[in-house]
Amino acid sequence: MAANLDGRIELVAGCFSSNPNISKLSGADLLLDPSRVYSSYKVMASKEAALPKSERIDFVSIVTPNNSHCPVAKVFLEAGINVICDKPLAFSLNEGKELRKVVEKSGKVFALTHNYTGYPMVKEAKQMIRNRELGKILKVVVEYPQGYAITDLGNKGESGISNWRMDPKVAGASNCMGDIGTHAENLARYITGLEIEEMCAELSTFIPGRQLDDDGTILVRYKGGAKGILFASQILNGEENNLNIRVYGTKCSIEWFQEHPNELIVKEVNQPRIIKRRGNSYLSAVARKYSRTPFGHPEAFIEAFANVYLAAADAIEDEVSGRKLKKNYDFPTIEDGVTGMVFIATAVKSSNSKSKWTKMLKA
């Protein structure tokens, strides 16, 4: 839906299952030309690459579990096809670094779907900080509370909901911190531009029987002196998808809540509170650029996700047209992906060492 929204992207080929029959049936449901519904991603990459440039796909979207992101991306990049890939980047930090080499060598576009950075008011927040409207940033509080994985221990003693994200062979070293903690890390970094210097992490597994974390809290020290609290959880009963961030500066502070995404709250001591609202002419150019409807006509999750596709489409168009790629498209890159993997690995390391303060690992 996010890719469809702006009429700029059309689905023309795909591999929709590791089972060739299911892939074929899904392709038919999607009204695709059967000759472009493939039995495996390898076949897809080689066959599409063999098509004349005007006919073949401009990019592939990888929406598989963590452990296949890199193998799949590698094959397409090496076949000369641009990639838009789900997060987290990889199964492991090393795998992520390897992929970075492939991306760099390929010269192709690689975008990562940290979709929450697509919200216009998130872009407004980033712009305010770039403009130094907050002064020096002292503290960042970013939370990602979910509750879908809670289970009533008392009544049943079962681990409740389980899925591939909780399987270390598929998800990697972390469930919760890898799945949603990385979104929180990415959002805070996107908005503030701050780099983590070291962290003190405690990952927890509240529901017995689970092999990976379902909750975690991290104290953060950023380069330059700011501090942070980052917490993510999947077992906070009744929370839905309550990603939110507060950035406190010496001049003013900002707050944004994903579940009410059209507003950005600005707080300053001895001043009335301010609420900026999407769609208004007083917003920054970038917030207006990634907005589709007038004020008061709310936009939400799908539109934000579509903004990642829009920005990536700019780059892909440049690449496909043979133009030189620019430095600063507004979508998450392979570097963001590697930083996310560093974040996960460092959090696991700190947590395993009794929450010892741990420097960010090498990217």
Residue 122 as a binder of a second copy (CB under 8 A): the answer is no
Binding mask 23-42 vs a second copy (x if CB under 8 A, - otherwise)? -------x------------
Residue 206 as a binder of a second copy (CB under 8 A): the answer is yes
Residue type for position 142: V
- For a second copy, which is the closer residue by CB, 95 or 124? 124
Residue 197 as a binder of a second copy (CB under 8 A): the answer is no
Residue 295 as a binder of a second copy (CB under 8 A): the answer is yes
Residue 350 parent element (H or E): helix 334-352
What is d(CA 173, CA 211) in angstroms, rounded to the nearest whole number? Answer: 10
Residue 299 as a binder of a second copy (CB under 8 A): the answer is yes
List the interface residues with a second copy, window 152-181 (CB under 8 A): 152-154
DSSP string, 288-341: HHT--S-TTS---HHHHHHHHHHHHHHHHHHHHTTPPPPS--SS--HHHHHHHH
List the interface residues with a second copy, window 207-246 (CB under 8 A): 215, 217, 219, 227, 229, 231, 233, 235-242, 246
List the interface residues with a second copy, window 271-290 (CB under 8 A): 271-277, 279-282
Least CB distance from residue 144 to a second copy, whole Å?
Answer: 11
Q: Give yes or no for a contact between 326 and 318, defined as CB atoms under 8 angstroms apart.
A: yes
What is d(CA 76, CA 145) in angstroms, rounded to the nearest whole number? Answer: 35
Of the residues 1, 50, 131, 285, which one makes contact with a second copy according to CB under 8 A? 1
Of the residues 150, 311, 312, 345, which one makes contact with a second copy according to CB under 8 A? 150
Residue 359 as a binder of a second copy (CB under 8 A): the answer is no
Least CB distance from residue 270 to a second copy, whole Å?
Answer: 6
Using the contact rule CB under 8 A, the part of the chain among 63-71, 163-171, 247-255, 312-320 near a second copy is 247-255
Q: Taking the CB of residue 135, how many other CB atoms lie within 10 A of it?
A: 14
- Angle formed at CA 290 by CA 193 and CA 324, multiple of 5 degrees: 75
Which two three-digit tokens encode residue 244? 């939110």
- For a second copy, which is the closer residue by CB, 223 or 356? 356
Q: Taking the CB of residue 319, how many other CB atoms lie within 10 A of it?
A: 18
- For a second copy, which is the closer residue by CB, 107 or 157? 157
What is d(CA 30, CA 347) in angstroms, rounded to the nearest whole number? Answer: 41
Residue 94 parent element (H or E): helix 93-106
Binding mask 47-76 vs a second copy (x if CB under 8 A, - otherwise)? ------------------------------
